[in-house]
Amino acid sequence: MSIRIVLVETTHPGNIGAVARAMKNMGVTDLALVSPRYFPDKEATARASGAEDLLENASVVDSLPEAIADCVYVAGASARSRTINWPSMNARECASKLIGEGARGSVAVVFGPENSGLSNSDLDHCDTLLTIPANPDFSSLNLAMAVQVVAYELLAVQSEAQVDYEADAPLATSGELELFYEHLEQVLTDVNFLDPDNPRHLMRRLRRLFIRARPDQNEVNILRGILTAVARDGHPRS
């Protein structure tokens, strides 16, 4: 199964080990850690209990964009309600989507810190919000349990997934889209369309638009070519 589990700013090393064990139970082996508080750590190794190879091969990076730069589809797992209307799926729906998108390139599921979960800024880098249905009176799962549920759903749907997709070009990766968003924000600022002191609201809406559109690499290159032409020939609005 070609899917990455990304843990963001994990505070307890034992949870990293428990996640590795949960992943290996379900045949998921690609683990990325974003700024873990303690790693490597003997408690992580002890809790891995046979999945030490996942810890040894885990990538450790400084930021979420770096962890998912090569991914064409990213789901952010969260139990916390949001004031922003994020696109969302339950774990079973999302597992089917991830398996299908995995035929186009690397995919990932992102889990946030144990106490606070993913921030809205983290979710800006995700294509969908993944939720795990649970008892509304006691809905909080520990990190390893949440990963286990998602990994199980992935294993359960893997053999059933049917992918029928032909494209002129591969989908744009998360890293390529981040460069496009930076380019877009700069040009919109230069032509006085975007307030440089408060860009977040508009840029978040534009991210949602392009996430729904799912541009491929050729389309992103076209869009960036347009932005380059605007930057070269355009004039600020009066």
Tell me the pLDDT tens digit for each residue of 23-65: 999 999 999 999 999 999 999 999 999 999 999 999 999 999 9
Closest CA to 84 of 53, 111, 118, 60: 118
Judged by average pLDDT, the poorest of 135-139, 206-210, 211-215 is 135-139
State percent of the chain over pLDDT 70.
Answer: 92
Number of H helices, E strands in the chain: 10, 7
Q: Is the pLDDT of residue 228 over 80?
A: yes
The shares of helix, strand and coil residues in the chain, as percent rounded to the nearest 5, are: 45, 15, 40
Per-residue pLDDT tens digits for 109-146: 999 999 888 998 999 999 999 999 888 888 778 999 99
Mean of the pLDDT values across residues 69-84? 82
- Rounded Cα distance between 76 and 61, Å, is 17
Mean pLDDT, all residues of the chain? 89
If pLDDT is split at 50, 70 and 90, which confidence band does 68 have? very high
CB 7 within 8 A of CB 111: yes
Asked whether residue 154 falls in the same domain as residue 194, the answer is no
CATH of residue 124's domain is 3.40.1280.10
- Rounded Cα distance between 217 and 237, Å, is 30
Provide the residue count of the chain. 238
Task: Specify the residue for token string 């700013």.
Answer: 9
Asked whether residue 138 falls in the same domain as residue 206, the answer is no
- Rounded Cα distance between 24 and 128, Å, is 24
If pLDDT is split at 50, 70 and 90, which confidence band does 235 have? low
If pLDDT is split at 50, 70 and 90, which confidence band does 163 have? very low
What is the total count of domains within the chain? 2
Domain that holds residue 224: 174-233
The residue type at 134: A
The residue type at 76: G
Domain final position from 124, 158, 192: 158
Question: Vertex 112, ends 215 and 4: CA angle to 5°?
Answer: 55
What pLDDT does 210 receive? 92
Domain membership of residue 165 (yes or no) is no
Q: Is the pLDDT of residue 238 over 50?
A: no
Mean of the pLDDT values across residues 145-169? 77
Backbone angles phi, psi at 11, to 5 degrees: -95, -30
Mean of the pLDDT values across residues 200-212? 89
Domain final position from 91, 125, 158: 158
Collapsing DSSP states into helix, strand and coil, what is residue 1? Answer: coil
Domain membership of residue 163 (yes or no) is no
Domain final position from 101, 134, 158: 158
Domain membership of residue 167 (yes or no) is no
Asked whether residue 116 falls in the same domain as residue 201, the answer is no
What pLDDT does 110 receive? 98
Q: Is the pLDDT of residue 232 over 80?
A: yes
If pLDDT is split at 50, 70 and 90, which confidence band does 84 have? low
